[in-house]
Amino acid sequence: MDNPTVSAADVAMLRVPITLTNCDREPIHLPGAIQPYGFLLCLDPATRRIVQASANTETLIGRAAEGLLHGGLDQLLGPDKLAEIGTLLEGLTQAPKLLGARLELVAGQPFYKIILHRYDDLLWLEFEPVAETDAATLDLSFLNAALGQMLAAGKVQEFCQHAVDQVRAITGLDRVAIYQFAADESGEIVAEAIREDLAPWLGLHYPASDIPQQARAMYLKNWLRFIPDAGYEPVPLVPVNNPVTHRPPDMTHAVLRSVSPFHLEYLHNMGTAATMTISLIHRGRLWGMITCHHLTPRLVSYELRELCQFIGKTFSALLPSKLQHDEDDYQLRIHTQQAKLFEHVSAHANFVDGLHQEAPTVKDVFECGGAAICFDDDMVTVGATPTQPQIRELLDWLQANAKTDVFHTNSYAALNPDGLALRATASGFIAASLTDAPDNYLLWFRPEVVETVTWAGQQEKPQVLIDGQVFLSPRQSFEAWKELVENTAAPWKPVEIAAARDIRLHISDLRLKVFNELQARAQSLARLNTELERSNDELDSFAYVASHDLKEPLRGIHNYSLFLLEDYADRLDAEGVHKLETLVRLSQRMEGLIESLLQLSRVGRTDLVVADVDLNAVLAEVAELLQPRFEQTHTTLTVAGPLPTVRADGVRLQEVFHNLISNGMKYNDQAAKTVDVGLAPPEATAGAARSTPSGEFYTFYVRDNGIGIDARHQTSIFKLFKRLHAQDKYGGGTGAGLAIAKKMVEKHGGRLWVESAPGQGATFYFTLPQSL
């Protein structure tokens, strides 16, 4: 038989120092001791004799623990209560049962609540002293209102706040908070109800090590843990070891179980004198806890604790629907923002503009600090983002390391040491590639999570050393958590990653649709161009054949008209002679028109003979050919040289200059006529020629001091056979010269236009490519 007294070894086991390195290994379910606000008796299930008792029975009921061992409950209770307890013990499990009883055989006959359960092959009877008048009545109206609030709560945050408000209303404790666990098992205070003069803890974070693994396991088994006086001295069991198993009994379900000395010291550093913790369980895992604190010792009755436990279990039962509601609400918000964003993107010719110019922008679709749109060497940022050089370095890293279309991380610094410089804005990011081309990405950024957290009690000074041992305070716990999560952003939710993927696919589909439409248009234009080229070829061929074939019969008409005038003029009256003269004149004019048409068709049909052409030599030849007319019309030609050498068809260019210079003389009513030719400065390329790429074309001018051209005619003068004056004015002509010159310039890939005003002369500009 075990020694019924408490040995030195038993006491030593209760006093093992707990440190940061061994608290995870502490056997908290085998403390071998209880809290002293009640006493404990353990009975053998077969004999129903007391095999272990807490050492404080003598203090509470005047009976030494050693004296109670091996006896029955008849040492304390009368026959009626013994029979009632006997009935309860018959079907007892680890689920507790409660019985109020007067200890009739104890001096003063004190009243106790007895909490009974069966576990570890023992019958457990825990006695909490209470006055007979303290029996709490169930407040059904409060319970109904509490359940109504919890059911009506739409969001998890509101749901949590109702729970802490209800527990504080039930218990009257100074502080009631909900502590929620993250995926890494660290925790955060997400709701609280506090006494007005206390500093808030809302938003505080703690590392996972603050609640060791074995404690978490206990919280899954025990819904509620209560410590009415955190300054208590543990009361050992007598004996500490079970006489049958030769070890301390497993006190997992014992209400009076003594807690870890480490936990008591932690409560002391927090300034907490009494505490109660209620488990919140979701899908078999510890989702969080309702944690209650009081600045002075406080005994909350078992009935009220049971009501709080009911609140906790109801909370756990309703939690899945509340979480799902929050998730559905967030997902709906994302889908709504996405739909609006897609409308913006579709409404803009450039999809990049649709991503950032109207709200919601790409940043607003889900929660992030900022976003960047990187496409075709352009970059647009929205919100808080790294600098553009930093983003370009990130794009280089993505090209080398991201192997998926949508890449995400919540700790870029863990993947790339250079990410440390980005942690204030981009500790984490999602990168969605837009095309196979490098650096085309949509990026969403999140800052380091530490940047977004505020410690409510920053001015508190932690106690770091007590009797040579290190203990954690709340402030130290926050610093420990902070050290663990530095360089880390809040994790991306699956719904957010899916949204990024949807946006990428939508843009890809939109760009593919636009590409297909453009391709279809290009194919249609190509067909039209082919048909147009064929029509133009056919038209040129027709014009050539028609003009060539018409010349012969027309020449016959002209010649026979002359013969008639020469041989029969004396036989005809004046009217007949006039008609023959008119026929000769009209046939000559028609021959000029046919010759112009033939010349125009030759331009379209004949390929250019390209060579290096010295324009100075070309103009010298033109001037030599026109010299007689210069003298006849008193015209001065000035060439502002030297002119460049170009790759072109010299014969065609000679015709262009000949035509433009001839027009400068012809449509001129000045006594002293001038024509100036030269290379125009870049700023002179106005009007239609602005579409010509600068630096790749030469621009030439031919300027005269003639009659000028009204603005309304400056387009029509380039049409075939278009004349602005009567046939008998300004030397007549067919009106085909400018049309032919324009076609020759365009065949070289250039443009021809005019700037003029009536009475102020005209300047004709034309461009030629610097190389063909």
What is the sign of the dihedral through the CA atoms of 424, 429, 434 and 440? positive
Overall average pLDDT of the 347-363 stretch: 88
The answer to whether residue 337 sits within a structural domain is no
In tens, the pLDDT along 449-501 reads 775 554 433 334 344 443 444 344 554 565 555 656 677 888 899 999 999 99
Interacting residues of 578 by C-beta distance below 8 A, sequence separation 6+: none
The answer to whether residue 320 sits within a structural domain is yes
Domain membership of residue 18 as a residue range: 8-134
Closest CA to 371 of 414, 332, 341: 341
What integer pLDDT is reported at residue 143 of this predicted model? 79
Interacting residues of 56 by C-beta distance below 8 A, sequence separation 6+: 34, 36, 39, 65, 235
Residue 18 pLDDT greater than 90, yes or no: no
Number of domains in the chain: 5
Out of 134, 150, 183, a domain closes at 134
Same-domain pairing of 154 and 278: yes
Mean pLDDT, the chain, whole residue set: 81
What integer pLDDT is reported at residue 465 of this predicted model? 40
Give the count of beta carbons closer than 10 Å to the beta carbon of residue 328.
Answer: 11
What integer pLDDT is reported at residue 598 of this predicted model? 54
* Cis peptide, bond prior to residue 239, ω within 30 of zero: yes
Closest CA to 377 of 360, 352, 355, 356: 352
Which of 14-18, 295-299, 617-621 has the highest average model confidence (pLDDT)?
A: 295-299
State CA 385 to chain mean position distance. Answer: 11
Residue 585 pLDDT greater than 70, yes or no: no
Is residue 235 classed as helix, strand or coil in its secondary structure? strand
The answer to whether residue 502 sits within a structural domain is no
Same-domain pairing of 735 and 651: yes
Structure tokens at 97: 């049962």
What span, in angstroms and rounded, lies between the C-alpha atoms of 142 and 166?
A: 9
Cβ–Cβ under 8 Å, residues 134 and 254: no
Out of 88, 104, 134, a domain closes at 134
Helices and strands counted in the chain (H then E): 19, 25
Interacting residues of 657 by C-beta distance below 8 A, sequence separation 6+: 618, 619, 622, 677, 702
Overall average pLDDT of the 304-309 stretch: 92
What integer pLDDT is reported at residue 403 of this predicted model? 85
The answer to whether residue 36 sits within a structural domain is yes
Same-domain pairing of 633 and 683: yes
What span, in angstroms and rounded, lies between the C-alpha atoms of 482 and 204?
A: 11
State CA 174 to chain mean position distance. Answer: 42
Structure tokens at 678: 């030269």
Structure tokens at 232: 């208590």
Same-domain pairing of 407 and 539: no
Cβ–Cβ under 8 Å, residues 500 and 406: yes
Q: How does strand 205-206 pair with strand 33-34?
A: unpaired
Which of 399-413, 547-561, 577-591, 711-725 has the highest average model confidence (pLDDT)?
A: 399-413
DSSP string, 308-371: HHHHHHHHHHHHHHHHHHHHHHHHHHHHHHHHHHHHHHHHSSSHHHHHHSSSS-GGGSSS-SEE
What integer pLDDT is reported at residue 462 of this predicted model? 42
- Given phi > 0 = left and psi -120 to 50 = alpha, else beta, which region is 185? left
> What's the Cα-to-Cα distance from 620 to each of 23, 154, 624, 738, rounded to whole Å?
105, 92, 6, 21
Closest CA to 300 of 445, 130, 527, 56: 130
What span, in angstroms and rounded, lies between the C-alpha atoms of 404 and 431?
A: 9
Closest CA to 26 of 208, 184, 165, 214: 214
DSSP code at position 469: B
Cβ–Cβ under 8 Å, residues 672 and 634: yes
The answer to whether residue 246 sits within a structural domain is no
CATH value at residue 390: 3.30.450.270
**603, containing H or E segment:** helix 574-605
DSSP code at position 23: G
Question: Cα–Cα–Cα angle for 427, 429, 432, nearest 5°?
Answer: 165
Same-domain pairing of 624 and 599: no
Helix, strand, coil share of the chain (percent; to 5): 45, 20, 35
The answer to whether residue 722 sits within a structural domain is yes
Angle of helix 156-171 relative to helix 140-152, nearest 10 degrees? Answer: 160
Same-domain pairing of 86 and 180: no
The more confident residue out of 666 and 732 is 666
Overall average pLDDT of the 191-203 stretch: 91
The answer to whether residue 479 sits within a structural domain is yes
Same-domain pairing of 433 and 374: yes
Q: What is the pTM of this model?
A: 0.61
DSSP string, 548-581: HHHHHHHHHHHHHHHHHHHHHGGGS-HHHHHHHH
Residue 674: what residue type?
T
What span, in angstroms and rounded, lies between the C-alpha atoms of 298 and 371?
A: 52
In tens, the pLDDT along 94-137 reads 889 999 899 999 998 999 999 999 999 999 999 998 854 444 55
Is residue 52 classed as helix, strand or coil in its secondary structure? strand
DSSP code at position 223: S
The more confident residue out of 612 and 23 is 612
Same-domain pairing of 561 and 683: no
What span, in angstroms and rounded, lies between the C-alpha atoms of 10 and 247?
A: 11
What integer pLDDT is reported at residue 47 of this predicted model? 94
Overall average pLDDT of the 508-531 stretch: 65
Same-domain pairing of 619 and 750: yes
What span, in angstroms and rounded, lies between the C-alpha atoms of 493 and 495?
A: 5
The model's confidence at residue 689, banded by pLDDT at 50, 70 and 90, is very low
Out of 573, 605, 637, a domain closes at 605
What integer pLDDT is reported at residue 298 of this predicted model? 93
Closest CA to 702 of 650, 743, 667, 748: 667
Is residue 498 classed as helix, strand or coil in its secondary structure? helix
Same-domain pairing of 280 and 166: yes
CATH value at residue 761: 3.30.565.10
Residue showing tokens 């130290």: 476
Is residue 543 classed as helix, strand or coil in its secondary structure? helix
Same-domain pairing of 279 and 165: yes
The answer to whether residue 244 sits within a structural domain is no
Is residue 547 classed as helix, strand or coil in its secondary structure? helix
Structure tokens at 471: 């203990």
Percent of the chain with pLDDT strictly greater than 90: 38
Same-domain pairing of 704 and 593: no
State CA 108 to chain mean position distance. Answer: 72
Q: What is the 3-state secondary structure (H, E, C) of 623-684?
A: HHHHHHHHHHHCEEEEEECCCCEEEECHHHHHHHHHHHHHHHHHCCCCCCEEEEEEECCHHH
CATH value at residue 197: 3.30.450.40
What integer pLDDT is reported at residue 669 of this predicted model? 83
> What's the Cα-to-Cα distance from 127 to each of 237, 260, 306, rounded to whole Å?
14, 21, 16
Percent of the chain with pLDDT strictly greater than 70: 77
What integer pLDDT is reported at residue 184 of this predicted model? 81
